[in-house]
Amino acid sequence: MASLLEVLFGCSHKNFSFPITKRPGQRLSPAAQLTGTYVACLGCGKEFAYDWHEMKIVEANNIKPNALAANAAESFAGK
Minimum separation from the CB atom of position 32 to Zn ion (A): 16
β-sheet bridge partners, residue 48 = 39
User: What's the CA dihedral at 65, 18, 1, 10 to 10 degrees?
Assistant: -40
Q: Which residues 6+ apart lie within 8 Å of 75 measured at CB?
A: 28, 33
Q: Which is nearer to Zn ion, 59 or 74 (CB)?
A: 59
Cβ atoms 42, 17 nearer than 8 A = yes
Cβ distance to Zn ion smaller for residue 11 or 57: 11
Q: Which is nearer to Zn ion, 13 or 22 (CB)?
A: 13
Residues contributing to the site for Zn ion (CB under 5 A): 11, 13, 41, 43-44
CB of 11 to Zn ion, least distance (A): 3
Minimum CB separation of residue 4 from Zn ion in Å reads 13
